[in-house]
Amino acid sequence: MKQICVVGVGYVGLVTAACFADLGNRVSALDVNEQRVENLKKGIMPIYEPGLEELVARNVKAGRIKFTTSYKEALKDAEYAFIAVGTPSGANGEADLQYVAAAAKSIAENMTAPLIVINKSTVPIGTGDWVADIVKKSQPKPIDFSVVSCPEFLREGSAIADFSSPHRTVIGSTDKDAANKVAHLHLPLRAPIVITDLRTAEMIKYASNAFLATKISFINELADLCEKVGADVKEVAAGMGYDARIGRYFLDAGLGWGGSCFPKDVEALAFMAKENGLNPKILNMTLEVNYDRRKKAVKRVDEMVGGLKGKTIGLLGLAFKPNTDDMRDAPAIDIAEALHKAGATVRGYDPVAMEVARPLLPAVELFDDPYKLAKGCDALMVITEWNEFKQLDLDKVKSLLKKPVIYDGRNIYEPKLMKEMGFTYQAIGRGFGA
């Protein structure tokens, strides 16, 4: 049993804390947001993540995890301190490290025994050295410590499974003993462990996310060509995916990526390249292609309904992906804003993201049921591929719509069936007239 402190109880920190506790460790999960900590003590989760509420409750009951706002309390007897705070994009695309700096300083000021400080947050190359410098300068008296990079590879919506069965664990440090101790902490996960230096570990995280984002932008650009030449991008992706050098994952054409990772990580990597005198052409185009998807979707719906002014458009799904309530950089935000500017009345529904979406979409009328949303709409747009949308009663939907128009931004329906049912239907990259 290890004593672990996790700083930050957002998507990464809370999952990390709960999963390490479930492995039998004693975990103190710290956050400076007092209300968030009080809610967690009452069993109220700050995020939606399948299985997380039950996991936290089980480990609270077992006494393996506790929540606090006190660094002194959280670091008492701790052997490891994970920094899992936000690193949002700055004005020029650079990563904003103010929360990392604050965490490092507070750890230094409150540690009382040798400690391994582990960067779990996604941070620019060189941050590990910078954190070490902050800790060293902020200590009231010298205490031995080491800094290790151990980037997260969790997907929202499947984060617990990703933590428990990772493809690999990446560990970087200039201190081999510290790296080995962090590796030992992860041994129960029975995954390949890559031990390298700090900067290489930091780069592995950025490179991984940027490559996956590039795959999505690539298949979306290919989808446009498929529409022009009469090919089906879903079949193209399936055929490509059988090649082990390519793989099937992240080849789903749609409205592009959003969320807290891909946008800021690609921007941050591009920023780092520019800062080092390079011209990151692929990264820049990856960003451009992705955000262009949202504009194209609005333009296509405008064509389908004969002009957006005075029309009512319903958005099925608001979160950036299924199984999360995360609205950060969600395509729904840009799409709703563009529809509204074009003179349309915009409606929205999401199974779990309604409360998070409400302040972000003030001009959108939110409904608590997809059928209520559909009644009287001139068109529906599938924005998020929630499973419940795949099983809608489409005959009922058709009877409720003012016009039977559906723009399927996630390719969840079959074009042939939709047309047979009498819908004016548009999928993405599914051949002539699809």
Active site residues: 261
Tell me the β-bridge partners of 117.
Answer: 81, 147
- 306 near 344, Cβ under 8 Å? no
Take residue 320 and report the two structure tokens written for it.
Answer: 């950036």
List b or e across 138-164, with b for residues whose CB sees 16 or more CB atoms inside 10 angstroms. Answer: bbeeeeebbbbbbbbbbebbbbbebbe
Question: What is the three-state SS of the chain?
Answer: CCEEEEECCCHHHHHHHHHHHHCCCEEEEECCCHHHHHHHHCCCCCCCCCCHHHHHHHHHHCCCEEEECCHHHHHCCCCEEEECCCCCECCCCCECCHHHHHHHHHHHHHCCCCEEEEECCCCCCCHHHHHHHHHHHHCCCCCCEEEEECCCCCCCCCHHHHHHCCCCEEEECCCHHHHHHHHHHHHHHCCCEEEECHHHHHHHHHHHHHHHHHHHHHHHHHHHHHHHHCCEHHHHHHHHHCCCCCCCCCCCCCCCCCCCCHHHHHHHHHHHHHHCCCCCHHHHHHHHHHHHHHHHHHHHHHHHHCCCCCCEEEEECCCCCCCCCCCCCCHHHHHHHHHHHCCCEEEEECCCCHHHHCCCCCCCEECCCHHHHHCCCCEEEECCCCHHHHCCCHHHHHHHCCCCEEEECCCCCCHHHHHHCCCEEECCCECCCC
Take residue 90 and report the two structure tokens written for it.
Answer: 């700055």
CA 153 to chain centre: 10
CA angle 278, 280, 281 (to 5 degrees): 130
CB neighbour list of residue 133: distance below 8 Å, 6 or more residues apart: none
Take residue 52 and report the two structure tokens written for it.
Answer: 């997380």
